[in-house]
Structure 1
Amino acid sequence: MPLTPRFNFIDNLRCFALLLGVVFHAALAYSPYFHNIWLSADPSQAGIFDVLTHWLHLFRMPVFFVIAGFCSALIITKKDATTFIKQRLKRLLLPFLIFLPLVIASFIHVLSWGADIVNPLPPIYAAFNVITEPQISTAHLWFLWVLTQLCLIHWGVYRILGSLQKRLHCTVNTAMYPLILMTCSFVTLLAQPTPFPAPDKLLPQLWALIFYGTFYLFGIILYHKPTLLKRAYGSIIPLSLTAILSFIAYSVYLPEAPTLQQVIAAAKRGAFTPSGIQHIRAVAVQAVAIVSWTALILLLSHRFFNQESRMSRYLSNASYWVYLIHVPVLLYIQMPLINTALPAIVKFMISVVGSMIISLLTYHFAVRHTVIGRLLNGDVHAKKVK
């Protein structure tokens, strides 16, 4: 299938998701709900950041995995399975292996630096003191690690079963896709706390592979069924109502914010352990909210933002670099802000604007036309290296 202008919505959607990622991680510092969990939790807080972080958390990463599945299907169809897996390992696994030690080192440094300059310290520092056997975390790079595993599974299934395209042409009612996604989300997230955590462990986590793999598979289906989204345009209004109502219900059934004692206990055990009928209700409405918001964002992007944009294309290419460095950059900006008496919204704006400026300037002048740019984006922007 040739690349056509209709795929412009993928660039625009990736650009949108990139900006939301920076917003999400910046907002965590000023969210009362995540105050005992986040690394740069600030005494200045505002309830609006609870709403913002919970809302973005529901659909931001599922959308990324839909995009990833779509792009994987495009590559494997236009080229072949061998080229696909070689390219994916080069673009995903290699940057993961290179940047993970750098990210861990930056986290260690910024947390140590923060301990020396910040007053008061974020509550999470108390949990660090009780961890006797720390596990290696993939931090925010978990997306690369999980996606690498899904691409290997995709490649293996493709090689065993042959072309997946024929098998994806089976007749399925459009309304069944969200129901299947909701069911898989509910089942896989039932054993996880609400909100669902980042699967940042090195060992493969089955729940994450199934949960995110379902959205990855849906991205593959979208590529092979290019009219699917267009046929669903008539569902935008009822889907919007479902998304809004499900988010309200999710907010009602959301458990209380974890206390510092609960965070410390979870740090000792290595995880939170949810249970009870309230948790089941929360997971159920969470599943509906995840799928409805993800589907709504996809539909709106395809319907209204399917035009070519040079800015979106540029930001889409820059998104990989911004993704790699924006969390450490945010922490370096937010740590000294803790000592100031500025309102939460002002600190938030400084964090977002500052991290985006630093990330984009370093991309444009130090990455875009270098070996790093070639590694992250292929040969699109990389100048010939002598």
Structure 2
Amino acid sequence: MQTDKYTLAGGQTRLHALDAVRAFALLLGVVLHATMSFFPGPRLWLVDDSEGSVLLSATFFVIHMLRMTTFFLVAGFVARLSFDNLGAAAFFKDRLRRIGVPLVVGWPILFVALMAAAGMPATAIDGVTFAYFPLIHLWFLYLLALSYMAIALVHPLLALSGANRIARLLLRPWAVVPLAAPLCLSLYLHPYWMMWFGIPTPDHGWLPNLPAIAGYGVAFAFGWLAQRQREALGIWKRHWIFNLLLACGCTAFCLFQAGAAPLLMPVPQGSMKLAYAASYSLGAWSWALALIGMAQRFLSAYGRVRRYLADASYWIYLVHLPLVVLLQGMVAQLAWHWSAKFAVILAAAFPLMLGSYSLFVRRTVVGAILNGRKRAASPTNSNLESSSCAH
């Protein structure tokens, strides 16, 4: 059976809206990391710029809140679609190629490159153990791999009628509350939760933290279940305004409570922590549902540029971090306004990464590993599967 993503579902239409959401989430990751050298206050990043910006730290806050829950929801949705098209054996073989190979091969290259970009020898990080292994920004691949392993174990249970009934209930507008409940509880019970940073990034160690599992793992599982519900995308499309307003309200509340600048102090148990955890969790889920619904409403048609960016976004996200850190270091001590430095970082990084994708990836074996074999792109290519890693 062929696993080329352009021949998976003959006679069906590519979900361009989900392509757009996935690309948006990955490309926002570049912007997120570019903001981190401009955090006001103590140094928290590999590079500390001479100019701090509360606006950029607030930008980080919002992007971090909405990005990865959205990504894993889309990932679970299209993973189920691909599983049904390919069958179990071909599906897991395909995921091993597209997720496992970039993780195993890419990690040592990118880790050394990141240390070099930051002016640190790769041996500078001491005390690397099972619990503190530096996954860097490739943690999302590791968490995807764990999600696929979990699916391999429990997918017969997820096909039961009871699971489908639960999925239908969770498509109701009010269901954002039970969807957010596991994340809320895990954040509230986390004893050292730095609430300004939301879901703790599981970038150290082979055992992801509980909030990451409750946030991203539950999003993946719900996406997997929701794909079987024919009305899912239509429901999210109809309710995008409601979800967007809820997301904006929760985000505003969290920023009001925590402030726009990074806050490093954990908060004790109490009503304020519970209210913040609930608002943050509801906001993260509402953003995910709103963004998918907005994409269904406004970006469901084929667009050549969006299609190209969707294909390129996986490569861009994999390779961006060393380049961004290098550029941050180059401008860190310049006597420029932070806005000019930030603009230069992005204006230099994106063309370089897009150029490298076009020249060295798109039509090469690397592109075949990441995105599948390429054929001529057109609005009618037979495919229901979003490209790249969010399968």
Q: Quote the residue 1:275 is aligned against.
A: 268
1:327 aligns with 2:321: yes
Residues 5-61 of structure 1, C-alpha deviation per residue, up to 9 Å, x if partnerless?
A: 36111111122223212111112222326x521212312122211221111111101
Q: Which amino acid aligns with 1:187?
A: L
Q: Quote the residue 1:177 is aligned against.
A: 175
Q: Quote the residue 1:82 is aligned against.
A: 89
Q: Which amino acid aligns with 1:144?
A: L
Among 4, 8, 22, the alignment partner of 2:16 is: 8
Aligned in 2, Cα 1:231/1:68: closer, same or farther, shift over 3 Å? closer
Among 123, 142, 146, the alignment partner of 1:145 is: 142
Q: Quote the residue 1:66 is aligned against.
A: 73
Q: Quote the residue 1:154 is aligned against.
A: 151
> How much has 1:165 moved relative to structure 2?
7.7
Q: Does the CA-based 8 Å contact 1:337-1:347 persist in structure 2?
A: yes
Aligned in 2, Cα 1:381/1:108: closer, same or farther, shift over 3 Å? farther
The normalised TM-score by structure 2 is 0.83
Among 19, 23, 38, the alignment partner of 2:27 is: 19
Q: Does the CA-based 8 Å contact 1:136-1:202 persist in structure 2?
A: yes
Q: Distance in 2 between matches of 1:197 and 1:43?
A: 27
Q: Quote the residue 2:202 is aligned against.
A: 199
Among 292, 314, 317, the alignment partner of 1:298 is: 292
Q: Does the CA-based 8 Å contact 1:96-1:144 persist in structure 2?
A: yes
Q: Quote the residue 1:37 is aligned against.
A: 44
Q: Quote the residue 1:211 is aligned against.
A: 215
Moved more, 297-306 or 216-225: 216-225
Q: Does the CA-based 8 Å contact 2:363-2:374 persist in structure 1?
A: no
Q: Distance in 1 between matches of 2:338 and 2:85?
A: 48
1:343 aligns with 2:344: no
Q: Quote the residue 1:268 is aligned against.
A: none
Among 245, 254, 270, the alignment partner of 2:258 is: 254
Q: Quote the residue 2:248 is aligned against.
A: 244
Q: Does the CA-based 8 Å contact 2:27-2:316 persist in structure 1?
A: no
> How much has 1:234 moved relative to structure 2?
4.3
Whose relative contact order is higher, 1 or 2, with alpha carbons under 8 Å and at least 6 apart? 2
Aligned in 2, Cα 1:275/1:4: closer, same or farther, shift over 3 Å? farther
Q: Which amino acid aligns with 1:14?
A: R
Q: Which ranges in structure 1 are unaligned for 5 or more consecutive residues?
A: 115-127, 263-272
> How much has 1:132 moved relative to structure 2?
5.6
Q: Quote the residue 2:388 is aligned against.
A: none
Q: Distance in 2 between matches of 1:380 and 1:168?
A: 35
The normalised TM-score by structure 1 is 0.84
Aligned in 2, Cα 1:326/1:166: closer, same or farther, shift over 3 Å? same
Q: How does 1:365-376 map to 2 (within 5 A)?
A: 365-376=359-370
Residues 237-288 of structure 1, C-alpha deviation per residue, up to 9 Å, x if partnerless?
A: 33332222211110122277346xx7xxxxxxxxxx6533243332122112
Q: Distance in 2 between matches of 1:9 and 1:234?
A: 14
> How much has 1:233 moved relative to structure 2?
4.1
Q: Quote the residue 2:228 is aligned against.
A: 224
> How much has 1:363 moved relative to structure 2?
0.8
Q: What is the aligned residue count? A: 354
1:98 aligns with 2:98: no
Q: Distance in 2 between matches of 1:258 and 1:233?
A: 35
Q: Does the CA-based 8 Å contact 1:369-1:381 persist in structure 2?
A: no
Partner SS, residue 206 of structure 2? coil
Q: CA RMSD in A?
A: 2.6
Aligned in 2, Cα 1:200/1:54: closer, same or farther, shift over 3 Å? same
Q: Distance in 1 between matches of 2:234 and 2:78?
A: 19
Identity of aligned residues (%): 25
Residues 276-317 of structure 1, C-alpha deviation per residue, up to 9 Å, x if partnerless?
A: 324333212211211112211111111111111121111111
